[in-house]
Amino acid sequence: AQSVTQPDIHITVSEGASLELRCNYSYGATPYLFWYVQSPGQGLQLLLKYFSGDTLVQGIKGFEAEFKRSQSSFNLRKPSVHWSDAAEYFCAVAPYGGSQGNLIFGKGTKLSVKP
Amino acid sequence: EAGVAQSPRYKIIEKRQSVAFWCNPISGHATLYWYQQILGQGPKLLIQFQNNGVVDDSQLPKDRFSAERLKGVDSTLKIQPAKLEDSAVYLCASSLGSSGHEQFFGPGTRLTVL
């Protein structure tokens, strides 16, 4: 069965520091890969997605993620965190080439930002 | 462009009562999803519609949950009767198509079952 693992439940970084959020997936082939952000009381917003091609993808708000097939990973990075980045981040996968688009989400990583 | 609308935003009910949630997707989006997000977890798909047909409802507890999208536009999700473990945020999302298309999420309905 497909699954997504986000090993870190909660991460705290200082404003201006770099950030890396980890995501590993379990799937027989390369799925579609996504990162979403959820601010308190709000719905999820797509940060970036990977379907194929260049394994380093750029997203909104200065985020990027790198797909590593050998490690089944899709880690999210940002070189300099801003206080407004404090939120919960979800990695998700969807079957590649399937007729269904349902997303399978990880449990999320909550990001706190210290001033 | 208007986003995905959901109502109500909050609902508190007692167990064994019934409740209904409403979702209006982005105009022109053929695919509509309902997710359940329990505290501390990622969203879990309950049901996926393509226009007014059900594509996937394998994780919908059909003994108590039902959903419809009669005219292929807005949708309702109902729980009857509710249990304590149904306390969660119910998220609606829509997309232009199914596989590979970006899903746009509404703000969710937070349900508390007492």
A50-87: per-residue pLDDT in tens?
Answer: 988 889 999 999 999 999 999 999 999 999 999 999 99
pLDDT tens across A8-62, in order?
999 999 999 999 999 999 877 778 899 999 998 788 999 999 988 889 999 999 9
pLDDT tens across B60-104, in order?
999 999 999 988 899 999 999 999 999 999 999 999 876 667 889
Interface of B with A (CB under 8 A): 4, 31, 33, 40-45, 48, 55-56, 91, 93, 95, 97-108
pLDDT at B83: 97
CB within 8 A of A58, min separation 6: which ones?
A48, A64
| pLDDT above 80 (res A6) | yes
Q: Is A35 on the interface with B (CB under 8 A)?
A: no
pLDDT at B90: 97
pLDDT at B99: 66
A vs B: CB pairs below 8 A: 67
- Tokens 């909550």 correspond to A110
A83: which DSSP letter? Answer: G
Q: Is A103 on the interface with B (CB under 8 A)?
A: yes
Q: Mean pLDDT throughout B6-34?
A: 96
Give the span between the Cα atoms of A76 and A23, in whole angstroms.
8
Nearest CA in chain A to B48: A102
